[in-house]
């Protein structure tokens, strides 16, 4: 009996999150945006061969909002697929009258130069009204092979 109740409750909770995304038309607060983004992005996971990335954009113009969302997703995909990390470390020893002063400095820089993201597919897109503009959410899929 308990197992049946647990299964029914988990099914109902799963349906609530899916219907939240499907039925949402307007973003009314920052918490509302955060919840929608979490539900939207959590349901789509990447694999070893496919990168799925969600992106979002806001503008008073719908077309600009869509372009910002696509660019956001493409930048995230490029960062995963084609980035390089440059790391510099410095250890400096100075001799003084009291002994040796040692200092350590490390910098790391994530570089993305001339990345090409071609062959991506828009899996899904959702447009929401937010204040006096449009919030567009897109999900892109990019094959690594």
Query: pLDDT tens digits for the chain (145 residues)?
Result: 555 545 455 544 444 445 555 566 677 777 877 787 778 777 667 777 888 888 889 999 999 999 999 999 888 888 887 766 677 888 888 888 888 888 888 887 777 677 777 888 998 898 988 888 998 989 998 888 7
Helix residue ranges per DSSP H, 1-145: 2-23, 30-42, 62-81
What is the predicted pLDDT for the residue at 8?
53
**Topology classification of domain 25-82+115-143:** Endonuclease I-creI (3.10.28)
Indicate the Cα dihedral angle 115, 120, 125, 130, nearest 10°.
10
Global pTM value: 0.61
CA distances from 44 to 25, 77, 115, 125, 130 (A): 20, 14, 23, 13, 23
What is the predicted pLDDT for the residue at 64?
93
H/E stretch holding 105: strand 100-111
What is the predicted pLDDT for the residue at 9?
52
What is the predicted pLDDT for the residue at 17?
47
């Amino acid at each position: 009996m308990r197992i049946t109740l647990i299964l029914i409750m988990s099914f109902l909770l799963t349906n609530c999150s899916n219907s939240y995304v499907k039925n949402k038309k307007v973003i009314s607060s920052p918490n509302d945006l955060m919840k929608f983004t979490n539900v939207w992005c959590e349901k789509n996971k990447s694999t070893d061969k496919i990168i799925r990335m969600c992106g979002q954009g806001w503008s008073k113009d719908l077309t600009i909002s869509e372009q910002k969302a696509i660019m956001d997703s493409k930048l995230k995909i490029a960062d995963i697929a084609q980035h390089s990390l440059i790391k510099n470390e410095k250890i400096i020893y100075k001799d003084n009258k009291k002994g040796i002063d040692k200092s350590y400095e490390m910098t790391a820089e994530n570089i993305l130069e001339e990345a090409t993201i071609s062959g991506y597919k828009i899996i899904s897109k959702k447009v929401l009204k937010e204040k006096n503009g449009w919030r567009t959410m897109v999900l892109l899929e990019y094959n690594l092979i």
